[in-house]
């Protein structure tokens, strides 16, 4: 029986099916599927020539580029595991991740080489460093496949047949490609094999390595194409970092279905430039975060308004909660666009989707379960399902789920829940355990299970009537395969089955015994006409335990005082939710993850004395 084709294997299919169709573009270059497949084959064979085997790991400290996509594809063809590292991290963080991942080869953009040079002595497992040219230093070349391109000079036959240089000489990416065979690598790769080792952004602590299989990505590509309606006629403008799960989910879907990707540097988000690229390349889809949308919406209208953005059929807002007013403004700026909002995580994939026709009827919701996934469970602290509109921890289960946290079995187990086997809440029941049965909705004239636990009571058969509890698995393996996962987010479900994200569990503020969810306060403060962005955190308070602190970024040219922000909140929220203190900072002072999520932990440390 045949297996699912992974992303690298699909490039071979498209190289034969649509050889002349452009697969990847950037400002300087364009490669067809045939050209990409040959380049990837050369890279894959080069990796094998370096002594790498299936299951070995390579790290990549690369800005958005065609080269990092080729590394993903070469890893997919060989069974090698790729570990993309966020290029915004400090030297210590880069060293920690590459060392923890046990990488043997390290691909580095030339601009990051000086930093990486200082780490060599601290990375004893790395046997080879490969420098990748960037910017004006790119020395691109043209393969024999496809049409000629003035930007990419053709290799001579003599160069193609030259013998590979010694290992010590292989220090640049182009040289590795030139020296390697264009033939398909002879490797057996299963959809169950690990493909990517991604490290979480660490919003709540030390980054964790997330192991993801080919199968988990393939599931996403099919679900994504069906949920969003993507086809081979689409062109994705990739702005999000390709070292992040958002891009490996969304941008790579277009490659899987035979579409095209335009690669833009992640650090150079200039709204007017983005609009110019949309107009020139006729981009049909972009995945952006609220910060990006905010920058576009705040660009001078007399400049931004002159660009034709009508080619954009679909937009995604993800990676951080989108505020209601912003979504309204985005849909006005891109007339007729279909706006989607996705909620998910590096570990679970895309958990929910709010579709275009739901944007106004369920404005503020994160939508309902993604296609092909199991029902989400909102669990209280005891592990029982919450009633509608009751806040609890969100747990999901589906085919996009990660395998495990690398070398962290205890953290893996703590993130999952499975149904308890008995009324005692044990994973596996025994003869001494009391059996249980689900409470019935007898008060509503139906025998359907009710999510709310009714008062416990013992039946004549000795069973205890109590709602099922969901508990931590006892071990990895089969139990994890059928378990529900939580990224630590608090949410609630309404009567129509839509989910509403409340906040991260770790961000909740408790002041005077009352719970305050930062996103609720941020939503209101963000409506102030002078506010560009805001983060709300808790600061230690002798009387109340914690006090609400708002850290505000003002729009350019705007002025505002603490008293004005507090007064603006006065009639819009409960008194205990109002900020006790307002701090004003510059735009570049707000700590964020690579995808723009505000690091509330760092905000507390820097601006709230925590």
The answer to whether residue 514 scores a pLDDT higher than 80 is no
pLDDT of residue 155: 36
Between residues 460 and 130, the one the model is more confident about: 130
For 215-219, 249-253, 297-301, 316-320, which range has the lowest pLDDT when averaged over its residues? 316-320
In this prediction, residues 159-187 reach a mean pLDDT of 70
In this prediction, residues 73-93 reach a mean pLDDT of 94
For 183-214, give one letter per residue: b (16+ CB within 10 A) or e. ebbebebebebbbbbbbbbbbeeebbbbbbbb
pLDDT of residue 492: 93
For 28-37, 153-162, 307-316, 540-549, which range has the lowest pLDDT when averaged over its residues? 153-162
Residues of the chain with CATH 3.30.300.30: 508-607
DSSP code, position 104: S
179: left (phi over 0), alpha (psi -120 to 50) or beta: alpha
Structure tokens at 477: 């393996």
pLDDT of residue 428: 55
For 73-77, 142-146, 249-253, 533-537, which range has the lowest pLDDT when averaged over its residues? 142-146
The answer to whether residue 473 scores a pLDDT higher than 60 is yes
pLDDT above 90 coverage of the chain, percent:
62
pLDDT tens for 337-394 read 999 999 898 999 999 999 999 988 898 889 999 999 899 999 998 899 999 999 899 9
For 39-48, 231-240, 326-335, which range has the lowest pLDDT when averaged over its residues? 326-335
Residues of the chain with CATH 3.40.50.12780: 7-14+31-213
pLDDT of residue 321: 63
For 392-411, give one letter per residue: b (16+ CB within 10 A) or e. bbbbbbbbbbbbbbbebeee
Q: Extract the runs of DSSP E, i.e. beta strands, from 306-357.
A: 314-317, 338-345, 349-354
In this prediction, residues 423-427 reach a mean pLDDT of 59
Structure tokens at 364: 């503020």
For 3-17, 184-198, 424-438, 539-553, which range has the lowest pLDDT when averaged over its residues? 424-438
The answer to whether residue 51 scores a pLDDT higher than 90 is yes
CATH number of 7-14+31-213: 3.40.50.12780
The answer to whether residue 116 scores a pLDDT higher than 70 is yes
- Give me the count of residues in the chain: 610
pLDDT of residue 118: 94
The answer to whether residue 592 scores a pLDDT higher than 60 is yes
Neighbours of 440 (CB within 10 A): 14
Which H or E run contains 293?
helix 290-297
pLDDT tens for 273-298 read 999 999 999 999 999 988 889 899 99
Task: Judge contact between 74 and 112, C-beta under 8 A.
Answer: no
pLDDT of residue 320: 67
**Cα separation of 49 and 54, whole Å?**
13
pLDDT of residue 437: 55
Between residues 160 and 484, the one the model is more confident about: 484
Q: What is the mean pLDDT of the chain?
A: 85
pLDDT of residue 148: 33
pLDDT of residue 268: 82
Of the spans 43-57, 356-370, 428-442, 446-460, which averages the highest pLDDT? 43-57
Between residues 201 and 252, the one the model is more confident about: 252
pLDDT of residue 1: 64
Task: Identify the CA nearest to 290 among candidates 607, 593, 609.
Answer: 593
For 306-320, 367-381, 505-519, 552-566, which range has the lowest pLDDT when averaged over its residues? 505-519
In this prediction, residues 549-555 reach a mean pLDDT of 94
Which H or E run contains 301?
helix 301-304
**Residues in Cβ contact with 243 at an 8 Å cutoff, skipping those fewer than 6 apart:** 60, 62, 68, 84, 85, 86, 87, 198, 594
pLDDT of residue 519: 82
Q: How confident is the model at residue 573 (pLDDT cuts 50, 70, 90)?
A: confident
pLDDT above 70 coverage of the chain, percent:
84
Q: How far is CA 1 from CA 4, 198, 221, 571, in A?
A: 10, 30, 21, 64
The answer to whether residue 447 scores a pLDDT higher than 60 is no
Q: How confident is the model at residue 92 (pLDDT cuts 50, 70, 90)?
A: confident
How many CA atoms does the CB half-sphere of 185 hold within 13 Å?
A: 30
pLDDT of residue 602: 85
Q: What is the pTM of this model?
A: 0.80
Do the strands 436-437 and 464-465 form a parallel or antiparallel pair, or are they unpaired?
parallel
pLDDT tens for 234-248 read 999 999 999 988 889
Domain 508-607 has CATH 3.40.190.10: no
Q: How confident is the model at residue 167 (pLDDT cuts 50, 70, 90)?
A: very low
For 329-349, give one letter per residue: b (16+ CB within 10 A) or e. bbbebbeebbbbbbbbbbbbb
Of the spans 59-73, 154-168, 457-471, 475-489, which averages the highest pLDDT? 59-73
For 38-52, 101-115, 204-218, 311-325, which range has the lowest pLDDT when averaged over its residues? 311-325
Of the spans 30-44, 240-254, 311-325, which averages the highest pLDDT? 30-44
């Amino acid at each position: 029986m045949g297996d699912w084709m992974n992303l690298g294997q699909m490039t071979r299919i498209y190289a034969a099916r649509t050889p002349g169709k452009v697969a990847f573009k950037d400002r300087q270059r364009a490669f067809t599927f045939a050209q990409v497949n040959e380049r990837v084959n050369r890279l894959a064979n080069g990796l094998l020539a370096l002594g790498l085997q299936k299951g070995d790991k390579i790290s990549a400290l690369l800005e958005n580029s065609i080269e990092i996509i080729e590394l993903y594809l070469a890893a997919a063809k060989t069974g090698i595991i790729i570990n993309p590292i966020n290029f915004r991290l400090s030297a210590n963080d880069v060293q920690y991740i590459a060392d923890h991942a046990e990488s043997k080869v390290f691909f580095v953009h030339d601009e990051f080489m000086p930093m990486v040079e200082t780490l060599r002595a601290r990375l004893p497992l790395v046997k080879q460093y490969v420098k990748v040219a960037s910017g004006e230093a790119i020395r691109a070349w043209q393969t024999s496949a496809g049409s000629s391109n003035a930007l990419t000079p053709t290799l001579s036959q003599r160069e193609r047949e030259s013998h590979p240089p010694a290992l010590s000489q292989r220090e640049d990416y182009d040289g590795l490609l030139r020296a390697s065979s264009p033939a398909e690598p002879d490797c057996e790769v299963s959809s169950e094999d690990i493909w990517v080792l991604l490290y979480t952004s660490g919003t709540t602590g030390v980054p964790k390595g997330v192991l993801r299989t080919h199968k988990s990505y393939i599931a996403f590509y099919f679900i994504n194409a069906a949920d969003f309606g993507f086809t081979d006629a689409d062109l994705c403008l990739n702005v999000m970092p390709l070292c992040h799960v958002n891009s490996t989910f969304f941008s790579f879907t277009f490659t899987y279905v035979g579409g095209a990707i335009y690669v833009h540097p992640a650090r150079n988000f200039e709204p007017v430039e983005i609009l110019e690229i949309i107009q020139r390349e006729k981009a049909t889809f972009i995945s952006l975060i609220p910060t990006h949308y905010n920058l576009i919406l705040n660009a001078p209208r007399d400049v931004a308004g002159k660009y034709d953005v009508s080619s954009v059929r679909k937009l995604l807002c993800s990676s951080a909660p989108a505020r209601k007013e912003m979504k309204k403004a985005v849909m006005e700026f891109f007339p007729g666009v279909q706006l989607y909002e996705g909620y998910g995580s590096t570990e679970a994939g895309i958990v929910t989707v709010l579709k275009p026709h739901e944007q106004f009827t369920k404005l503020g919701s994160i939508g309902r379960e993604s296609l092909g996934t199991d029902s989400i469970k909102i669990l209280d602290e005891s592990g029982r399902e919450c009633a509608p509109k009751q806040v609890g921890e969100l747990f999901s289960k589906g085919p996009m789920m990660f395998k495990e946290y690398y070398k962290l079995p205890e953290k893996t187990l703590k993130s999952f829940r499975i149904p308890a086997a008995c009324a005692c809440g044990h994973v596996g029941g025994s003869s001494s355990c009391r059996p249980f049965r689900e409470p019935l909705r007898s008060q509503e004239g139906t025998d359907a299970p009710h999510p709310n636990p009714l008062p416990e009571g013992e039946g004549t058969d000795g069973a205890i009537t109590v709602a099922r509890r969901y508990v931590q698995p006892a071990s990895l393996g089969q139990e994890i395969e059928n378990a529900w996962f939580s990224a630590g987010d608090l949410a609630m479900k309404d009567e129509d089955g839509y989910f509403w994200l409340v906040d991260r569990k770790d961000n909740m503020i408790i002041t005077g015994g009352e719970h305050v969810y930062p996103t609720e306060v941020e939503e209101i403060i963000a409506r102030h006409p002078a506010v560009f962005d805001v983060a709300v955190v808790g600061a230690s308070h002798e009387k109340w335990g914690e006090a609400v602190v708002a850290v505000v970024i003002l729009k350019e040219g705007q002025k505002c005082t603490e008293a004005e922000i507090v007064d603006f909140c006065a009639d819009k929220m409960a008194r205990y939710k109002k900020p006790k203190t307002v701090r004003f900072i510059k735009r570049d002072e707000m700590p964020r993850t690579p995808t723009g999520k505000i690091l509330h932990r760092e905000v507390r440390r820097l601006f709230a004395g925590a």
